Structure 1
Amino acid sequence: MSRRPKISGINLFKVPVTDLSRSTTWWQQVYGARVTTEFASRDGSLKSLYLDVPGLGCPVALEQRPKHAAALAGFRLVDFAVNTRADLESWLVHLDRLGVQHGGVFFGSTGWATRFKDPDGIEHQLYTREKHGQDLAGLPGRERPVS
């Protein structure tokens, strides 16, 4: 039997957007993203941008795809990690300063989290690596370990 090849990480995280300029500004303000690369369509119009997001470890590509962005509205596409609850609370202050509505701090299955939406309504979650120590496994809507 042959061995399955290994994946070594995430090369690119792609997000569809309705308005490339608006979404780029949002990612810059919220995450401190920096534009590193532009891609143009055959007609010369700007099609997508690659962003460097501090701490992420892989580029984020914002791609002008209004129908795809609309289809993902309300869907949580990604959970970004923060180290501690104190770090999460500093994010809430940052989001408040920007006028980005969020869900406050809540108990996740193992850590604390908050959720907020980008300009297209795609949900983002920040989740702590720090554990809260509560055993929520098996409760309705919570994870259930599989052995």
Structure 2
Amino acid sequence: MPTFAGVNHFALSVTDLDRSTRFYTEVLGLVAVLDFGYGRVCLDRRSGFSVGLVHHPGSTLEPFSELNPGLDHLGLTAESRDELVSWQERLEALGVPHSPIQDTELGHHLNFRDPDGIALELQAPREVYRQIVAQLRGGQVPDEVLLAQAAQILGAQLVVGADVG
């Protein structure tokens, strides 16, 4: 089966290009690099990951809702819980409403929204999750091993198709 190497970019439909460009550059620290008139591309200097912002003529001005089919939220990676605290402080300084940091079995999460209401999440994985990802990147991990690890961490009731002990 063909594979892909990772996520290259995402593009979001927005209601106001200037407002969205300001948000993604000022809040997330991306750099606006391209302007096609109807859309812009912002780039993260460290990872090379890019975010497309597109305004479609005739689009509705309704705010985003994860209750409709399509995107639920976009999750971005933070290095650590301490980095999430720094992000929380940055969001507060910029007046961006956000959730408290949530601590879960797999990591720590901080949720907020862009100007169109698109749900964004910063997630800092716990060490156990980092180890699993490293194993996956290091070679073939059989499905049953992956499912057993998930069951051990989260409980068998959450594992897809679990006959895992």
TM-score where L is the length of structure 2: 0.70
Change beyond 3 A, Cα 1:64–1:130:
same
CA RMSD between the two structures: 2.7
* 1:89 paired residue number: 85
Contact 2:105 2:126 survives alignment (8 Å) = no
Higher share of residues assigned helix: 2
Does residue 19 of structure 2 align to residue 22 of structure 1?
yes
Structure 2 gap ranges (5+): 130-151
1:57-136 to 2 correspondences below 5 Å: 57-65=48-56, 67=59, 70=62, 72-74=64-66, 76-131=72-127
Q: Which has the larger radius of gyration?
A: 2
Higher share of residues assigned strand: 1
Runs of 4+ in 1 over 3 A off after TM superposition: 54-57, 65-72
How big is the shift at 1:10? 2.2
Structure 1 gap ranges (5+): 40-45
Equivalenced residue count is 134
Does residue 154 of structure 2 align to residue 137 of structure 1?
yes
Deviations 1:64-113 (A, max 9, x none): 13747747334642110111111100100000000001101112341111
3-state SS of paired residue (1:115): strand
Identity of aligned residues (%): 27
Alpha-carbon distance in 2 for matches of 1:132, 1:93: 26
The structure showing larger relative contact order (alpha-carbon pairs under 8 Å, at least 6 residues apart) is: 1
Contact 1:109 1:137 survives alignment (8 Å) = yes
TM-score where L is the length of structure 1: 0.77
